[in-house]
Structure 1
């Protein structure tokens, strides 16, 4: 497991991008739960954010690809709207403990 950040650095309804071992990833916290995905849209293979650490739509309820507007469920990464509907983001196993958030590459 690789350390990502302290839990307090990812508040509820926020997102944060990072790179570990050359892999671009991002994390989202919703209702206290952390979700981590590869930062790669299944449509074009591009990064999702429109500016650093901005992976969510304006309502903070869906992950949004800045390139073509595809929308993904936070909980499982499924695309529910846009050019890659039915496809999903690639999840990355993570856990959180008293030290912070850890990812398993």
Structure 2
């Protein structure tokens, strides 16, 4: 992310209503980013990941654009196709790690 956007986001997060909405969509954004990052780390295109998982390239694209909600089973298939395991965790309310806050 660029500095201008980071500054803009930090300013917007001062508004409690904006912060509430931003935090509400954070889990979905984190999943999307995790899928994209893992695929890139694996060096796979969407098409190659599709071939490894049996999930259509179109569905992978929808997931990465945030236009679909993956099931745990789908996330496990994606992870396996990338030679990875799926890890899900719960965190106390109000904790936003620095990486997520800067996205």
Indicate whether the TM-score tops 0.5. Answer: no
| Greater strand share, structure number | 1
Higher Rg: 2
With the length of structure 1 as denominator, give the TM-score of the two structures: 0.30
